Amino acid sequence: MKSRLKLLPLFLVLLLIMSGCLRFKEASPVLQTDEIDGRNYYNIEAELNVDDKTLKAVEEVTYYNNDNVEMKELYFHVYPNAFKTKETAPFLFDDFDNAYKRGFAPGYAEIISVTTKDGNGEKLLKYSLSGEGDTILRIELDSPLKPYERTSLRIEFALQIPPAGERFGYGENNFNLGNWYPVAAVYDQKDGWNLDKYYAIGDPFYSDAADYRVSITTPEEYIVAASGQLVEEIKVEGGKIKRIYEGKSLRDFAFIANNNFAVIEEEVDGIKVMSYYYKEDRIRGEEALEYGVKSIRLFNQLYGKYPYPVYSIVETEFPSGMEYPALVYISDKYYKPVYTSDPLIITVVHETAHQWFYGIVGNDQIDEAWLDEGFAAFSETIFVERTFGKKTGQDYYTRSIENSVEEALSSQIIDGELVKSLSEFEDWDDYAPTVYDRGAQMLNKLRETLGEDTFLKIVKTYVEKYKFKIATTSDFIKVCEEVSGKDLKEFFKPWIRNIE
C-alpha cells in the first residue's frame, strides 16, 4: 500500500495518449505459468445487495495441509469484524474522520454455518470466534487432518458493509470488497498459526497463494472489477448479472462494484491492462492505463514476467493506493484536476510493483513489512530513472527518500531497524519512513555496492525462487550472497539487527 505520497518533480512532462478503448479479447489461460501442487482452493458464491449494503455468500474451501503436523482444527481470519466498533475499526493514516466522513456505522461478518461432508452427507462442525474484534474463526474438524492431505469445508456467511472509505466499505457509488471473506490463516514453522489482529498500521495480512473461482451477483447497472479473470457473465432474475471469475496462485481476492465506471484497456506482453475510472475522470483514467502499461512492461523486464492474464487499476474511494492480486485501488482524489498527475502516476507505479512484491513473492506483512513496501518504494525510483532519465530519477530519490530517511533517523521513535513487527511501531509516522523509505534506501545502496547488473540478477532470481511462496529477510540475503558470490553480512548489519 502507498502510505504517503512522494511527488515527482514538477517538471515531468506527461504524455497523454489512449484515445479510446480496445475490444474485449477471448479469454486466455488463467495462469501463464506451470501450476503448483498443494494450494488451497476457494469456490465462493456471493450476492451484493446495494440497497441494504449487505452481501450474502457461501464459501467452499478445499484446505491442503502442507505442513508436517496433524491438524485438529483450522483457523481463518474474518477481517470484516474489525469494523464492528470504533475501538477496533482500522482506519489509515490515523485519520478516523476521513475514513468515516459519512459517520460511523458498524461493518461485520455473520458466520451462519460451517459444514463438511462425509459418507452420510453434510455434517455441521463446531466453530467459535475469538481475537480482538472476533476476527479469528476456529473450526473444529470432525477428524484430524494428516500432513499433505486435504479437507473440504462449507462456510455460509453474511456481511454488513460499513460506510468507510477503506479496504472494506462503501461510498457514494462504490463498494470496496477487500479482505471480505474468511481466509485461511497461515501455519508456519516459526509461529505455528499466525493469528494476528487487524492492525490499523500497515497492511496486516499474511496469506498463502491459493486458487479461486468466485461468482459475484450485482444489479446489472453495476460494473465489477475483480482479482482473477472474468470467464462468464449470466443474466439472472430481477435485473441482475452474475459474473464468474477464476484465478490461480492468488494471495487474496478482492473486488469493487460501481455504477459509475467507464473501462478502457490495452494489451502489453500478452497481458490485458484495464483502467476502471469514474465517467467524469476520463483524462486521468487514460493516464492510469498508460502508466499501468508502462509499469507492467518495465517490471516484466526487470523482475520477471507478470504471471496473470489481467491487471486492473481501479479508481475508488480510498486514502491512497492498495494492492491486491491482479487488482489495485487508486484514490479517486488523484483523478481530480486539483491534483497534478504526479500522485496518480507514482501510486500506480508503486501498487503495480506490489504485484511482484506481496503478490508473486509473498511475505509476512506483520513481521517483515519492508520486504514488500521497501521493494515497491524502490521500484518508484527505478521506474522514474528508466522512464524519465537518470537525472530525474536521482532527483526523485534524493528528494523523496534520502531526505525523509534523514529526518526519520533524527527522531527518537525510529531506531533504523527494518525487521520489526507492526506491534512495535508507534504510528504511521514511525512505520512509513522505516519500511518504505529506509527499505528503499537499503536496496538502492545494495545496487550501488554490487552494480546494476548483479543487483537486478539478484532480484530476478529472488522472484523466480520464491514465486507463489513465502519469503523472509533471511531468504533474500541468502539469494544476494549466492548470486553475488560475496559475504554481505557486514553490508546488512546497519539495517537489520539479527542476521542469521
Strand, coil or helix: 405: helix
Q: Which CATH class is domain 370-492?
A: mainly alpha
pLDDT of residue 405: 53
Give me the pLDDT at residue 14, please.
32
What is the rounded distance in angstroms from the CA atom of residue 422 to the CA atom of residue 427? 9
The CATH architecture that domain 41-207 belongs to is Sandwich (2.60)
Q: What distance in Å separates the CA atoms of residue 371 and residue 376, rounded to the nearest whole number? A: 9
Residue 409 in this model has a pLDDT that exceeds 50: no
Q: What is the DSSP letter of 279?
A: G
pLDDT single digits (tens) 286-312: 999 999 999 999 999 999 999 999 999
Q: What percent of the chain has pLDDT over 70?
A: 89
- C-alpha span between 496 and 443 (Å, rounded): 12
The model's pLDDT over 62-73, given as tens digits with 9 standing for 90+, comes to 999 999 999 999
**Residue intervals in the chain for CATH 2.60.40:** 41-207
What is the per-residue pLDDT across 25-39, written as a single tens digit (0 to 9) for each?
Answer: 333 344 433 344 689
Using left for φ > 0, alpha for ψ between -120 and 50, and beta otherwise, residue 499 falls in beta
- What pLDDT score does 426 carry? 85
Give 428's DSSP letter: H
Q: Structure pTM?
A: 0.91
Q: What CA–CA distance (Å, rounded) separates 170 from 48?
A: 12
E-strand ranges in 279-368 read 310-316, 321-324, 327-331
Phi and psi torsions of 90, nearest 5°: -80, 130
User: Where along the chain do the CATH 1.10.390.10 domains lie?
Assistant: 370-492
Which comes out higher in pLDDT, residue 393 or 316? 316
Question: What is the pLDDT, as a whole number, of residue 37?
Answer: 65
Beta-bridge partners for 96: none
Which segments of 251-299 are extended strands (E)? 255-258, 261-268, 271-278
